[in-house]
Structure 1
Amino acid sequence: MTVREPGAAVRGWAEAPVLVRTPATSANLGPGFDSLGLALTLYDDVEVAVTGGGLEIEVDGEGAEVADRGEGHLIVTVLRRAFAELDALAGTDPGRPPGLRLRCVNRIPHSRGLGSSSAAIVAGIVAARHLHPAGARLDDAAALRLATEIEGHPDNVAPCLAGGLTIAWTDAGGPRSVRLDPRLDEVTALVPEQRLATEQARGLLPETVPHGDAAANAGRAALLIAALSGGLGGDVLLAATEDRLHQDHRAPAMPESAALVARLRAAGLPAVISGAGPTVLVFTSAAQVDSMCAEVGNGWHIHPLNVAPDGARVRHHGSSLRP
């Protein structure tokens, strides 16, 4: 559905478009199930403008097939939710924006375990607080809470908002997170053609786990924080990325990914399933992956990446979207 209208300041809504860049993220990182997350240097760009009427959606790259979902598009849904949240926080109602124009350039693979839905959710929230007259009332804590409510868990949205390495948890006050700067050089994402819905992957997890496995994962998660914060590599990082809680249970849904993780780890490389999969994340350079396990290139898209130091950011006025 497309109605083209010029940008317009309507009852206090921002006149200029807002352009938000959001990073890909990898959650779990092996043992840190539903708690650890890492922001990566692969980005989606989203531009949102309040217009005189209608709804216009344009998508380049990943997710172009869902550009015609109208109000059902995830970012539009998030924008509406965030606008309503801001109305409630301000105690005023500026009225529904008469129209919206949404343009997306998506580079984060969809349904591959690299946080594409979190990137869309965070982009919608950040754009909303720059467009809404009361946007300043939605602070970082409120943004994390809202993003977690929409996504269902904070492990991906936390690094997407904050950048770096995050530890997220939920207590009586809602979701919270802390951010760390890992001493980590290049990481490598190995992305297959296969897609896997997060809901399908979660459905394979057991209701309970043995106490020994839970204890082992707790120790490995603590070791992983120490390894990433202290720049420890080699055998320490390999041991720190061992998981007993979720990867083996999800293996039937992504046998090629599970087999690749096993091959890489047997070669001494700290490899894990990224998020719910099926992407494989390796804590080393693409060159080292290739030299130690050369056959990995068959059927896999290899992305050499770094840790993104920043989370979602509004780009300077005058920046333009580029595929």
Structure 2
Amino acid sequence: MKIRIPATSANLGPGFDSCGIALSQYLSIEVLENAAEWKIIHSLGSDIPSDATNLLIQTALKVAPDLSPKVLKMTSDIPLARGLGSSSSVIVGGIELANRLGNLNLSQKDKVQIATEMEGHPDNVAPAICGDFVVASYVDGEVHSVKHHFPMCDVIAFIPDMQLLTSESRSVLPTSIPYKEAVQASSIANVMIAAILNGNLPLAGRMMEKDRWHEAYRKNLVPHLEQIRLLSHEMGLYGAFLSGAGPTVLILSPEEKTDEMVRKLGKLSISATIHVLSIDQEGIQVF
């Protein structure tokens, strides 16, 4: 059995802790054989545990405590601590591992609920499970989510070589904002979502760049965002925004302009990896 979970990008600017998309980078987990104790074969670095202390196994055992140990193989092309849902993909993978090995028959709604309770918010885990574009809320312990088709475009990921932990990026956010500003922030998010539903990427992109919830507070941690946004405007692309808590920036691009934008991004003085991704429409897959 092989489980594949997509990378995700949360927020899309003003959809803070609520909106997310699934992307074409993946975490894969393969069940190899029975074992006396849990073992994970991977080449993801010494910081990632290879035993039952791994987040994947910890998650699976929270969902199904009586699972018998296995030897697993884990591979991933989702970069760690870059705002592309690396930890969320592991949590989602652990839930699916428990679901399959424990014969739990969890529904998609069940999985989103469990994953959100573990993660604290649904913006990454919901699209990892469902695929495509998902809008979700987590209020009074209950998760509500809606999946919709995201309009066709290339998604250019500018991934700086530096890590930025979510905890650090969250620490710069205010504990409250004025009521009038919250109303404006909410209206921007509403128009952004409606534009996506209508397939209007030019308008959606403009709204993504008008976020009032988080990007302004994080700009000192991600100075490259403004550079990339200016470049995106010069090129006539749809929009650029922080992926999750950063430092990755995503740029929504018409296919015919992508190659030139990638070349220009490559000339910036910031050490980074650049990937051209697409929207993953399926979410978690089991083979």
| TM beyond 0.5 | yes
**1:79 Cα shift?**
1.3
SS in 2 for 1:281: strand
SS in 1 for 2:122: coil
Match for residue 227 of structure 1? Answer: 195
Q: Does 1:252 align with 2:252?
A: no
Q: Does 1:243 align with 2:211?
A: yes
Q: Residue type of the partner of 2:29? A: V
Inter-partner Cα distance in structure 2 for 1:111 and 1:226: 30
Inter-partner Cα distance in structure 1 for 2:88 and 2:78: 11
Among 100, 104, 122, which residue is 1:130 paired with? Answer: 100
SS in 1 for 2:147: strand
Inter-partner Cα distance in structure 1 for 2:263 and 2:39: 45
Shift of the 293–55 alpha-carbon distance from structure 1 to 2, 3 Å rule, reads closer
Q: Residue type of the partner of 2:39? A: E
Q: Does 1:71 align with 2:52?
A: yes
Match for residue 109 of structure 2? Answer: 141
Which of 1 and 2 has greater Rg? Answer: 1
**1:293 Cα shift?**
7.9
**1:294 Cα shift?**
4.7
Structure 1 segment 229-308 matched on structure 2, within 5 A: 229-234=197-202, 236-241=203-208, 242-265=210-233, 268-269=236-237, 270-285=239-254, 288=257, 291=260, 294-297=263-266, 298=268, 299-308=271-280
**1:240 Cα shift?**
1.7
SS in 2 for 1:219: helix
State which drifts further: 250-259 or 37-46. 250-259
Q: Does 1:309 align with 2:273?
A: no
Consecutive unaligned residues in structure 2, runs of 5 or more: none
Q: Residue type of the partner of 1:108? A: I
Among 79, 82, 92, which residue is 1:109 paired with? Answer: 79
Consecutive unaligned residues in structure 1, runs of 5 or more: 1-17, 85-94, 316-323
Q: Residue type of the partner of 2:286? A: V
Q: Does 1:199 align with 2:163?
A: no
Inter-partner Cα distance in structure 1 for 2:51 and 2:23: 29
Inter-partner Cα distance in structure 2 for 1:186 and 1:77: 35
**1:140 Cα shift?**
2.0
Inter-partner Cα distance in structure 2 for 1:178 and 1:312: 16
Alignment deviations for residues 21-41 of structure 1 (CA, whole Å, 9 cap, x no partner): 001111000110000000111
**1:290 Cα shift?**
5.4
- For the 8 Å contact 1:261–1:271, the answer to whether it is kept is yes
Shift of the 309–96 alpha-carbon distance from structure 1 to 2, 3 Å rule, reads closer
Match for residue 178 of structure 1? Answer: 146
Inter-partner Cα distance in structure 1 for 2:167 and 2:216: 16
Inter-partner Cα distance in structure 2 for 1:105 and 1:155: 23
Match for residue 119 of structure 2? Answer: 151
Inter-partner Cα distance in structure 2 for 1:39 and 1:311: 7
Inter-partner Cα distance in structure 2 for 1:221 and 1:140: 26
* Percent identical residues: 34
Shift of the 73–218 alpha-carbon distance from structure 1 to 2, 3 Å rule, reads same
Inter-partner Cα distance in structure 2 for 1:311 and 1:71: 26
Inter-partner Cα distance in structure 2 for 1:22 and 1:285: 26
Alignment deviations for residues 205-227 of structure 1 (CA, whole Å, 9 cap, x no partner): 00111334322222221222222
Match for residue 90 of structure 1? Answer: none
TM-score normalised according to structure 2 size: 0.90
